[in-house]
Amino acid sequence: MAPARGPLPSAPNDGPAPDERPASSHPSRQETSTMFSDPDRNLDEVATINYYQPREPDAPELSDDWLTQRFVCEHCDDLRYCEERGTWLRWNGHKWQCEKTLLAFDRARLSNRAAASELADEDDVTDRDLRGLASAKTRAAVVSLAKADRAVAVAANDLDKDRMFLACPGLAIDLEAHRQRANKPEDFNTRAAGFAPAEGKPSKWLAFLGEVMDGDAEMVAYLQRVAGYCLTGNTSEHVLFFCYGTGRNGKSVMIEVLADVLGDYAETANMQAFTGDSSNRHLTEIAKLDGARLVTAVETEAGRPWAESRIKTLTGGDKVSARFMRKDEFVFSPQFKLMVAGNHKPTLACPDEAMRRRIQMIPFEVTIPPDRVDRQLKEKLLAEGPQILAWALEGLKDWQRIGLAPTERVLAASSEYMAEEDCVAAWLEECVDRSSGTEGTADLIAHYTDWAKRNGMPTLDHKLFASRLRAHGFTPHRTNRARGFKGLTLIHDIPAGLECSGPDQF
């Protein structure tokens, strides 16, 4: 027997503005089912549920539109489609999971089969009609039309919106109030932690941190605050964590365990997204980071420079542009904290105050002897995953109370790194005498450029070089003929062929 032919909602017209709608703007399964099946239901009431303007039904039985409305009725509670991400989402009980198995097509196939079975005994339905319901073309049409249905479509900006909310398997945590509750579909979370927190002390984890931090309890407490901060979508610290040290020191294991504890909230990125790669590849690399709270990367090549302007943008709370493959660009506000591990420190062309504030160096100075390396250490630590998450939640409370509060070791390592990367400071130390003299800017930049090339240091354009000299306390000086800086004299002669000729333009 064919399904009841009740009033069907028409295409959306002018409904209430989005900000005038209730928090849960999608109809329930019961509401939608009634909407489609009750021939006596007031059409205005139906329109109010799903923000449709009432009009006479215009979806004839057996049409693609009619089949789509059946499909939406059946799956309005467990399927959503996000056009900006180009993906279907399925509610799995604690999050909206990105669907990668063509589930929507399979569900449309089952829905169309059910429709064919119900209509098989109808006198006015032919075998050709029934074959059409089962065709791949009809199934694809249903899926395509359903993507735009207001009960199914969801905007990317509505996903993972609450930065102080942590979805976990079986429960959700309000990170502001430190209260637990059930996960709800209307939270629109597409990410969840790898574990739910559990009581108990993560003994192996604490012993591991104590060993790799050489027994420094202050460093372990700092790492706990870092872990707690990474649970949130808050980026107010505007920092990048760089875990530095030679091999066999535990930095990679620590980062991997934290990432697994955060589960979907953690992403791994190619280091080229954050270093001086001139291509646009970073746009697609960064797109997957929307909604992530911890992003890890590994630096493997010596001498690779940071993409400093990109680092400042990604860690500064600014909106960034990104795009998925074969999709238009979109804009999002990063929630993630960037944590990089490396044996080599990326270079800085301009170690200015903004970069000094951002980079926190976490030194790993203990080398584990080869005979004590445990190849199953990560798995053993993850057996304490629920307790590690509870440990991180305690770190969150400390962060909310005192901030990251980096230790003296972190501050000293960060200052040392910035001093190493200040190539202008090294050139000044070697080639310049601080005096009452004056040198032309063009002569200075020529001398620095030659020195930098001979010493494998980055060269700087005139504007950046002049700003670095000002940062080191030298005063710009200008005459009718040229511009220069006061308070310094070149110790060595300018290399042959590099002497300034003509007026100094800088």
Q: Could you report the per-residue pLDDT of 106-163, keeping only the tens digit for each?
A: 999 999 999 999 888 888 888 899 999 989 999 999 999 999 999 999 999 899 999 9
Tokens of 391: 């440990």
Tokens matching residue 410: 């972190």
> Which helix H or strand E contains 184, and what residues bound it?
none
Spatial CA neighbour of 51 closest among 19, 21, 91: 21
> How would you write the pLDDT of the chain (506 residues) with one tens digit per residue?
334 333 333 333 444 443 443 444 444 445 544 444 444 444 344 333 343 332 333 445 789 999 999 999 999 999 999 998 899 999 999 999 999 999 999 999 999 999 999 888 888 888 899 999 989 999 999 999 999 999 999 999 899 999 999 999 999 999 999 999 999 999 999 999 999 999 999 999 999 999 999 999 999 999 999 999 999 999 999 999 999 998 889 999 999 999 999 999 999 998 888 887 545 556 778 888 999 999 999 976 777 888 888 899 899 888 988 888 777 888 899 999 999 999 988 888 778 888 999 999 999 999 999 999 999 999 999 999 999 999 999 999 999 999 999 999 999 999 999 888 888 888 998 999 998 888 899 889 999 999 989 888 778 888 878 888 888 889 898 887 788 999 899 987 655 554 444 344 43
Check if the beta carbon of residue 253 is closer than 8 Å to that of residue 381: yes
Residue 124 to residue 217: CA distance in whole angstroms:
80
**202-222 confidence digits (pLDDT tens):** 999 999 999 999 999 999 999
How far is residue 80's CA from residue 98's CA, in Å, rounded to a whole number? 10
Q: Name the pairing type of β-strands 240-244 and 359-363.
A: parallel
Distance CA(150)–CA(262), nearest Å, equals 32
Q: Which helix (H) or strand (E) holds 271?
A: none
Q: Specify whether the CB–CB gap between 416 and 247 falls below 8 A.
A: no
Q: Which residues face 34 on adjacent strands?
A: none
- The residue type at 485: F
Q: Which two tokens stand for residue 165?
A: 């909310």
All structural domains of the chain, each given as residue ranges with its CATH number in brackets, are: 18-158 (no CATH), 203-420 (3.40.50.300), 422-490 (1.10.10.10)
Phi and psi, residue 216, nearest 5°:
-85, 100
Q: Would you call 179 helix, strand, or coil by DSSP? A: strand
- pLDDT score recorded for residue 280: 57
Q: CB atoms < 10 A from the CB of 371, how many?
A: 5
Single pTM value for the model: 0.78
Tokens read off for 62: 């057996």
